[in-house]
Structure 1
Amino acid sequence: MILHGIETAERSTIEEQQLHDLQKTIDRVYERVPFYRNKLQEKNIHPSSIKTLDDLEKLPFTTKSDLRANYPFGLFAADTKDIVRFHASSGTSGKPTVVGYTKQDIKDWATIVARAITIAGGGPEDILQNAYGYGLFTGGLGLHFGGEELGTAVIPISGGNTERQISIIEDFKPTILCSTPSYALNIGERMLEMGKNPRITSLKYGIFGAEPWSDEMRHTLEDLFDIKACDIYGLSEVVGPGVAIECSHGQDGLHIAEDHFLVEVIDPVSLEPVPEGTVGELVFTSLKKEALPVIRYRTGDIASLTKTKCICGRTTVRMSRVKGRIDDMIIVRGVNVFPSEIEHHLIQIKELAPHYQLHLHRTSSLDEVELHVEIKEDLYHTTSQNVNSPIIQTLKAEIQEKMKSYCYVTMKVVLLPPKSIQRSEGKAVRIIDHRKQEVNK
């Protein structure tokens, strides 16, 4: 189902509209946001200087630290009387980032998410179980209003209370499940523990996001539930979920809502644009937002872009699945590795459950990585519940060799009994960094 002509438009048509909206956005921030006006003036840029899309590279970047430094409303381009909703990050590493929406922003966001749901295979006839968290986090309300805009019946169950999630699946017969991939896995495993078959439900599609996940995790979830699993992308600073999503036809890159967002990929060190298909840091410029327009916002997410037409017929730019975040990248003895790369190889080992954590330690002046991963139930019982058995030790050596050969990092592997790693009801905790505490001892 194609909801908007932009999805199949010619590249020239898309770019003509983008330029028009970019110019309006630059006019708006220059007039209403002192932070951006000062930044532009420092570069001797006036809104009239933006004549082509190539001029985007002249504009300054915006970072999360800029939002925090202007907490709470310093980057808003609308008066608080015109704001109808606020969202914010958790603020676990300092002041939260605060975002606001006008009535038109909310309407646009709902339209974007409605389009995303159709790209993933949904339609007005579907029932959507929304297991993303509601509240200041944008995930729950973003999918909720997008579903209602499309005409889909939404079950606003939010995250957590896993057994109730299962009861709702059985009783309400939803066809779409929306959650983080790690929580979907949690739901499926709990069903198995309860003697229920996750493959025999009404579910047809999964819309999973809010954390990086590998193709191997996709295959795991699709096999577990007998569904199509599509990756949805968004972040609060740009709008929330719906910025991009995979189509259920191709599952080959996420279609970006290009009438609302201009996307670039830059080298995170040189800050220069990289060629199409090259991996780098995603940068977004909003084109229609009224309350909080963002100019060249550095997301910290690592991905690449392609402009080739998708097999589903859509012509909008597609971004690859997010490889990881710059701040989640582990650097050990000069080697860079993302958790999703580790997940990619772990899930291929049939004796392991798809649950793992990376514990970072500092030994003397060196960083060390300890990989905690669970073995499956059948292997655990085969070895008489002995995680130190010869079979387990051989498996541990195999994992260590795989990590060294493919991720180029030597890790201490800790194999754990089933269900030892805490299950997620939202975003999975993949990295536990002990280094600061160890240095301060």
Structure 2
Amino acid sequence: MDEDRLYFDPEIETMPRAEIEARQFPALKEIIEIAYEKAGLVRQKWDAAGITPADIQSLADFSRLVPFITKDDIRAYREATGDPFGGVLCVDRSALRSITGSSGTTGDPTILARMDLHGTQMDSRFDRGFWDLGIRPGDWGVTMNPTIRGSTIAPFLHFGITPICLDHNPSEIGRLVEISRKYRPTLLSALSTVLLMGLEQFEIDTGVDLAEAFSSYKAVIWGGEPLGPRGRMLTERWNLKIYEVLSLGDATITLQSANQSGAYAWEDEVFVEHVDPVTGEPVPDGSLGELVATPLQNRVDPLIRFKSEDLVTLTRTPCPSGRTHARFQIKGRAGDQIVVSGNTLLPISIWPTIESQLETKAGLFQIVRPPQPEDFLRLRVGYAGKPDLESLERRLKAEIRNQLGVDSKLELVPNDDLLKLGPPHKIPRIIKLQV
């Protein structure tokens, strides 16, 4: 294998757009026929819409006629039928070899199934992504992944990386530093807010030069939620090259490009759409819309026209790297927007205000959504140590007013209490007000 070549799979990665689209429909046709025959939720939705796979004769027909599937649809089907797979499983359960799930941060986890044990089912997106980031077969890599579709080491093994496995837990920070110095791995997957907090405290407690300890890493994968401004400052101080791992509409997982112009939506694996979150109508490339995804290779539990709730900008113009597949950047979640006194806010816009104070620098907070609009912002904010809470609340409110232009009502709680509310690597950023 020529390790100096630009692409892992040149023919696929640089395929002309006309050829990408020409290949998509035959693959899509096969998937929808399987799903309509085998998946109860898909048949239920299509029958209600009065369509069958025979009505779909083009990609345009698919986008015009086929109903969306949402997480609420899957949950409702599961509740009504007792099917843990929510009506999307297309194979007999005896054929499955592994079952995992999404993180479940915004609700009960989505069950995800595989028919293999070794990551050979759909790992080309990691092969391409690792290669793009400068990783090569034979490299060593640290994996600290908390939740992912399938085995956490499968993409490493499939590509040819030697995995070093650690728990996704701040208690492993000392081992991470020791292993990084001893084995000089080139890849770390995946860093998160929780581990970032642990690294900063480790640096304070020990005085260890983390930039030196981590100097061998060509790429550090960040996952779970956006990297806040202060977190990015820390990673830049340690000379870490951060790239995000992102869900592509629960159809697959993908990595941010090395030039950080977006994450690749590998269109030989997924048919992607970009729609108005309210009307469902297509929106132009480059504008903000909701990501909709349909897998083209998953014959086990395909989600057909799945509305991801991810608000993204998407482009199909060729990447500066020469790759021709679509790229997207996540801007927020469709349900995460909150309007306060005429100001539309997302978690990412609130982050800097929380990180501005020493006691809340970890950026742990939740937006508390009321049943009716209010003229102030409700937040639950995590703090470290034993601060003067009255002073902290006063300073935070002033910063929120100054940066966001709104008044606020705050509930201050210890960081550890907030971290108990989510999976190991993130917390729910939006919660409903309990009345």
Question: Does the pair score TM above 0.5?
Answer: yes
Q: For residue 284 of structure 2, what is the aligned residue in structure 1?
A: 275
2: CA distance between counterparts of 1:356 and 1:102? 38
Q: Does 1:299 align with 2:308?
A: yes
- The CA deviation string for residues 29-52 of structure 1, in whole angstroms up to 9 with x for no partner, is 122224323432333333233222
- Contact 2:105–2:423, Cα closer than 8 Å, also in 1: no
The counterpart of 2:366, out of the listed 343, 351, 358, is 358
Q: Is 1:246 matched with 2:256?
A: yes
Distance 1:129 1:335, change over 3 A: same
Cα distance in 1 for partners of 2:41, 2:416 equals 49
State the match for 2:217 in structure 1: 203
Is this contact kept in 1: 2:249–2:306, CA < 8 A? no
Distance 2:274 2:141 in 1: 33
Alpha-carbon offset, residue 60 of structure 1: 1.2
Q: Which of 172, 191, 198 is the equivalent residue of 2:183?
A: 172
The within-5 A match list for 1:100-179 is 100-103=113-116, 106-133=119-146, 137-138=147-148, 141-160=150-169, 161-162=171-172, 163-179=174-190
List gaps (5 residues or longer) in structure 1.
Answer: none
Q: Against the structure 1 CA distance between its residues 311 and 191, is the aligned structure 2 distance closer, same or farther, given a 3 Å change threshold?
A: farther
Give the drift of 1:235.
6.3
Deviates more, 1:365-374 or 1:110-119: 365-374
**Alpha-carbon distance in 2 for matches of 1:245, 1:253:** 9
> Quick one: structure 1 residues 410 and 115, their matched pair in 2 at CA, closer, same or farther if it must change by over 3 Å?
same
8 Å CA contact 1:25, 1:287 repeated in 2: yes
How many percent of aligned residue pairs carry the same amino acid? 27
Corresponding residue for residue 52 of structure 1: 58
Q: Distance in 1 between matches of 2:156 and 2:284?
A: 36
Give 2:227's aligned residue. Answer: 213
Task: Please list, as runs of the form range in 1=range in 2, the aligned pairs for 1:355-394 lying within 5 A after superposition.
Answer: 355-358=363-366, 360=368, 366=374, 368-370=377-379, 372=381
Distance 1:365 1:28 in 2: 44
* Deviations, residues 127-173 of structure 1 (Å, cap 9, x unaligned): 2111112xxx326x554111111111111213112333333333332
Contact 1:206–1:227 at 8 Å: present in 2 too?
yes
Change (3 A) 1:412 1:109: same
* Inter-CA distance 195–271: structure 2 relative to 1 (3 Å threshold): same
Note if contact 2:88-2:301 (Cα within 8 Å) is conserved in structure 1.
yes
SS in 2 for 1:299: strand
Amino acid at match of 1:25: I
Alignment gaps of 5+ in structure 2: 1-5
- Which position in structure 2 is the counterpart of 1:323? 331
CA RMSD of aligned residues (A): 3.6
Q: How many residues align?
A: 415
Distance, in Å, in 1 between the alignment partners of 2:372 and 2:108 is 33
Give distance in 2, aligned partners of 1:105 and 1:274: 38
Normalised by the size of structure 2, how large is the TM-score? 0.82
* Distance in structure 1 (CA, Å) of the matches to 2:431 and 2:272: 32
Q: Distance in 1 between matches of 2:46 and 2:132?
A: 37
User: Per the alignment, do residues 270 and 75 of structure 1 end up closer, same or farther by CA in structure 2, a change over 3 Å counting?
Assistant: same
Distance in 1 of aligned mates of 2:419 and 2:43: 47
Q: CA deviation at 1:258?
A: 1.2
Q: Which residue of the partner structure matches residue 403 of structure 1?
A: 404
- 2:33 is equivalent to residue 27 of structure 1: yes
Distance 1:349 1:54 in 2: 51
